[in-house]
Structure 1
Amino acid sequence: MIRVRRAVVDDARELVRLRGVMLAAMHGRQPAPGPWQETAVETLRRRLADADGSLAAFVVDKPDGPGELAACVIGVIECRLGGPDNPSGDIGYVFNVATDPGYRRRGYSRAGMKALLGWYRQRGVTRVDLGASKDGEPLYRALGFVPRSSPTMRLTLSSAVAGSSGPR
């Protein structure tokens, strides 16, 4: 039996380590170490401290490594304006599903995803989105996720500079 638990503040550093595992799987290379890691740790510590907040993480501990995580699933609830297909406007977004390579194919991510989906249900969320890697697609399809074609676009803004009035 797989024991999934809700992540706590002390799990933040391990969650960021597993985020690196997930980013490596998505992009084909390990992310470079940098300030992003400490910022992510602090963000997680702050967000995990609020048990009623809009972020939840579920983890599976390594059976042979106390204090280390084998897998994690992290998601948030975003509040947007409601519409006909989602009157509340609440949308779940799964943004970090990762399992250490030596612990894959044991059902850890599936168990974590089921726990996260249960959390969304408890919170009244009826729509959940995620970005899937090729390796993750079969799991997500088995859980009921369907691919969507959407005209999603992205703009990356540079950091605001004091006294800047923006583009001219």
Structure 2
Amino acid sequence: MIIVRQGTAQDAPELVRLRLLMFEAMQGEARPGPWERTAERVLRERLGGPETTMGVFVVDDPAAPGRLAACAVGTLEQRLPAPGHPEGLFGFVFNICTDPASRRRGYARACTEALLAWFDERGASRVDLHATADGQALYRSLGFTEHSVPLSRKRGGSGS
């Protein structure tokens, strides 16, 4: 049986470790840097509060106490309501990762299902994510479909 629990501020270092592994899988190389300290600080701050807009669900590594086997992390955003989104609540999943030694056991699915239930409980009318080719089958099996791709702008306006 897979036990999924809500992440806590104490999980911040492990969540950052898994996030680095996710970027390595997506980009073909690890990209450590100052972002890791900032990510850990943000996680500690956001997960330490009583009413957070960040959902974090984890599976502990049964073979390595203190380590996480998998995680799913997302945020709930309040936008202006619209006809198709009467509450204006949107979810965005930005981190799903399983440690390579723990893959193919259903951990990512279990964490993602818990995160989607968290979004549902809060009334999110749509949940978005960016998927790698490897993750698309999982996300499609959970009800994700194609959606229009918005334009993006990076700071400085260059778009590159």
Q: Provide the aligned length of Structure 1 versus Structure 2.
A: 156
The structure number with the bigger radius of gyration is 1
The corresponding residue for 1:162 is none
Partner of 1:80: 79
- Give the Cα separation in 2 of the matches to 1:149 and 1:27: 23
SS class of match (2:26): helix
The residue aligned with 2:127 is 128
Question: What RMSD, in angstroms, separates the aligned Cα atoms of the two structures?
Answer: 1.0
For 1:114 and 1:88, the matched residues in 2 are separated by 22
Q: What residue identity is the alignment partner of 2:90?
A: I
Aligned counterparts of 1:38 and 1:81: Cα–Cα separation in 2 = 32
Q: What CA deviation, in whole Å up to 9, does each residue of 1:1-39 have, x standing for no partner?
A: 0000000110000000000011111111111x2211111
3-state SS in 1 of match to 2:35: helix
Matches within 5 A, 1:1-168: 1-31=1-31, 33-150=32-149, 152-158=150-156
Tell me the SS of whatever aligns to 1:71. Answer: strand
Q: Which runs of 5+ in 1 are unaligned?
A: 159-168
Letter in 2 for 1:10: Q
**Distance in 2, Cα, partners of 1:34 & 1:144:** 34
How far apart are the structure 1 equivalents of 2:71 and 2:34? 22
Partners of 1:135 and 1:50 in 2: how far apart?
A: 34
Residues 88 and 125 in structure 2, CA contact (< 8 A), matched pair in contact too: no
Distance 1:138 1:75 in 2: 19
1:70-103 deviation digits (Å, cap 9, x = unpaired): 1000010011111111111110000000001111
1:164 alignment counterpart: none
Question: Which amino acid letter does the alignment assign opposite residue 154 of structure 2?
Answer: T
Deviation at 1:51, TM superposition (A): 3.7
Question: 2:33, 2:110 → 1: CA distance?
Answer: 31
Deviation (angstroms), 1:47: 0.2
Deviating beyond 3 angstroms after TM superposition, the runs of 4 or more aligned structure 1 residues are none
What TM-score do the two structures reach when normalised by structure 1?
A: 0.90
TM-score of the aligned structures, taking structure 2 as reference length: 0.94
Distance 2:154 2:112 in 1: 29
Identity of aligned residues (%): 50
The alignment partner of 2:125 has SS state of: coil
